[in-house]
Amino acid sequence: MASHAIAGHDDGHAHTHHTTTGLDNRKIAIWAFIGSECMLFASLISTYLIYKGKSLVGPYPHTEYTDAAGKVFPAILDIPVTSASTFVLLMSSLAMVLALQAVQLKGTPLPANAGWWTRAQRSSQLWLGMTALLGATFLGFQAYEFTAFVREGLTIKTNLFGSTFFTLTGFHGAHVTVGVLWLMSLLWIDRTRGLGPKDELVVDIAALYWHFVDVVWIVIFTLIYLIQ
């Protein structure tokens, strides 16, 4: 989306362009993009809520279902497992904050008595990698959840719950996947030529996207899993 080089071919022009607000163009564009994404998830979530409890056959999210043949399907959502994956995703936002801070502080001398934590805080590679890893872990949980549901008899075709659940959480998972790829690209740039304070904006934009995707999950988790 950005028109300037994210890999930082520092051609000198990127920083000399005057803008009306003083903000970089990319910063405004990402906020407009997030605004649009809000409407995307609002539409998906609304549909989930409209269809909540309307499925004619099970499995159901929070209640048991017995089909015509007498087969019993227990409530399908595994709230403890998803709570764990939610915690992982929340922690990834913390790692993202630390990654941005590490990039901002690159080149600032460490205090003489800096302990291991202060030193660790300075490693942008550690925190970018950690964010990507936590994001990938969340995706692993989602893959586990999806396959478990299919095994238990809920597919995207089964009922309205299956269609809306897999589509909504799948859309969110796709956003996390894009975020992980984005973070890994930043990590790669960091490893090859190093990210520093001049790249703050590039990391900041990725962070805004990452936090947004995280916030969306909190809404989804609350509405699908916590509220019965």
Partner 1 sequence: MATLAAPACATAPASTQSGLWSWIATTDHKRIGTLYLWTALAFFLIGGLEAALIRTQLARPNMGFVSAETYNQLFTMHGTTMVFLAVMPLSAAFFNYLIPLQIGARDVAFPRLNAFSYWVYLLGGIFITLPILFQVAPDGGWFGYAPLTTNQFSSGPNIDFWVIGLQILGVSSLAAAFNFITTIINLRAPGMTLMRMPMFTWMSFVVQFLLILAFPPITVALVFLLMDRFFGTTFYAIAQGADPLLWQHLFWVFGHPEVYILILPAFGLVSEVLPTFSKKPLFGYNVMVYSGIMIGFLGFGVWAHHMFAVGMGAVADSIFSLMTMLIAIPTGVKIFNWIATMWAGEVRFTVPMKFAIALIAMFTIGGISGVMHSSPPADLQQTDSYFVVAHFHYVLFGGSIMGIFAGIYHYYPKITGRFLNERLGNVHFWLNFIGMNLTFFPMHFSGLLGMPRRIYTYDAGQGWDLFNLLATYGTYLLVIATAVFVWNFVRSRTRGAIAGGDPWGAATLEWSIPSPPPEYNFAQIPTVTSRYPLWDLKDPSWHEGEDSHGDTGTPGPSPLREETETHTAKALGIPMPYPTAKPAFAALGLVVMFSGLLFLRNDLFAVAMTVTLGGAAMLIGGLYAWLTSPLE
Helix or strand (DSSP H, E) at 213:
helix 200-220
Q: How far apart are CA 85 and CA 62, in angstroms?
A: 19
Helix or strand (DSSP H, E) at 98:
helix 79-105
**The residue type at 180:** V
| Of the candidate residues 90, 97, 126, 160, the single one contacting partner 1 (CB under 8 A) | 160
Does residue 142 bind partner 1 (CB under 8 A)? no
> Do residues 135 and 176 lie in contact, with contact meaning Cβ atoms separated by under 8 Å?
yes
Does residue 68 bind partner 1 (CB under 8 A)? no
Q: Where are the alpha helices (DSSP H) in 106-199?
A: 116-121, 124-151, 160-192
Does residue 37 bind partner 1 (CB under 8 A)? yes
Does residue 219 bind partner 1 (CB under 8 A)? no
Comparing CB distances to partner 1, the nearer of 129 and 162 is 162
**What secondary structure letter does DSSP report for 225?**
I
Does residue 40 bind partner 1 (CB under 8 A)? yes
Residues that bind partner 1 (CB under 8 A): 1-7, 9, 11, 13-14, 19-21, 23, 25, 28-29, 32-33, 35-37, 39-40, 42-44, 47, 50-51, 54-56, 156-157, 159-160, 162-164, 167, 171, 185
